[in-house]
């Protein structure tokens, strides 16, 4: 059984979806949830599944403390599901091609520093995009520039609000993110 560690900074709906999905498979399971936000709702969600959690500061992430905790667990995959800090190079170097992020846009559009959550959906609407979607990609040392694993688009009719775009993206994330993670775990067998 492959071990998955999920990093999240907020509500944790994608994290919970991944936890529930892998509770029903033999491919892998979420073994811990890490967060940089002591008030994140993801902590409550993890507790509901009796999963261990780690809360850490930005300093602990960029020093060796979080890497040390990961090395004890030895995860097969690290999943960033709404994790808002740039991932440190020491962890990326220790887990090459084992760190995956989901981005709520079709990269390379609307990627980079400051492009997350509603900032992206507002930009998509303001730019009058005809489509948007999700990108699942490996994490490297630059925001949203790792190799793309999977993209799925959704057509926009031009009169959506940013909130309606966010809802469409959330549906794509819920449908595809766990399946793509499972495919990657199967490839690593």
Q: Among all residues, which ones are annotated catalytic? A: 103
Q: Find out whether 12 is annotated in a ligand binding site.
A: yes
| C-alpha span between 92 and 22 (Å, rounded) | 24
Cβ atoms of 181 and 18 closer than 8 Å = yes
Q: Find out whether 132 is annotated in a ligand binding site.
A: no
Cβ atoms of 16 and 45 closer than 8 Å = yes
| C-alpha span between 68 and 189 (Å, rounded) | 25
Partners of 99 in beta bridges: 78
Could you tell me the end-to-end alpha-carbon distance of the chain, in angstroms, rounded to an integer? 10
Three-state secondary structure readout of 114-168: CCCHHHHHHHHHHCCCCEEEEEEEECCCCCCCCCEEEEEEEECCCCCCHHHHHHH
Q: Find out whether 53 is annotated in a ligand binding site.
A: no
Q: Backbone dihedral region of 42: left (phi > 0), alpha (psi from -120 to 50 degrees) or beta?
A: alpha
Q: Backbone dihedral region of 110: left (phi > 0), alpha (psi from -120 to 50 degrees) or beta?
A: left
Using DSSP, state whether 6 is helix, strand or coil.
strand
Which residues are annotated binding-site positions for (6R)-10-formyltetrahydrofolate? Answer: 58, 101
Binding-site residue numbers are: 12-14, 58, 101
């Amino acid at each position: 059984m492959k071990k998955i560690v999920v990093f999240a900074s907020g509500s944790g709906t994608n994290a919970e979806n991944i936890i529930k999905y892998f509770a029903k498979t033999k491919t892998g399971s979420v073994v811990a949830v890490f967060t940089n936000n002591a008030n994140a709702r993801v902590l409550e969600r993890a507790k509901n599944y009796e999963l261990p959690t780690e809360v850490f500061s930005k300093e602990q992430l960029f020093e060796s403390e979080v890497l040390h905790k990961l090395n004890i667990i030895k995860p097969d995959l690290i999943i960033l599901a709404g994790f808002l800090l740039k991932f440190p190079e020491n962890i990326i170097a220790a887990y090459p091609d084992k760190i995956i992020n989901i981005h709520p846009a079709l990269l390379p559009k609307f990627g980079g520093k400051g492009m997350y959550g509603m900032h992206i959906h507002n930009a998509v609407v303001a730019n009058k995009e005809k489509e948007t979607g999700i990108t699942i990609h490996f994490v490297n040392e630059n925001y949203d520039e790792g190799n793309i694993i999977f993209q799925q688009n959704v057509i926009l009719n031009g009169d959506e609000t940013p909130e309606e775009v966010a809802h469409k993206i959330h549906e794509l994330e819920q449908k595809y993110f766990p399946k793509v993670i499972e495919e990657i775990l199967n490839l690593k067998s």
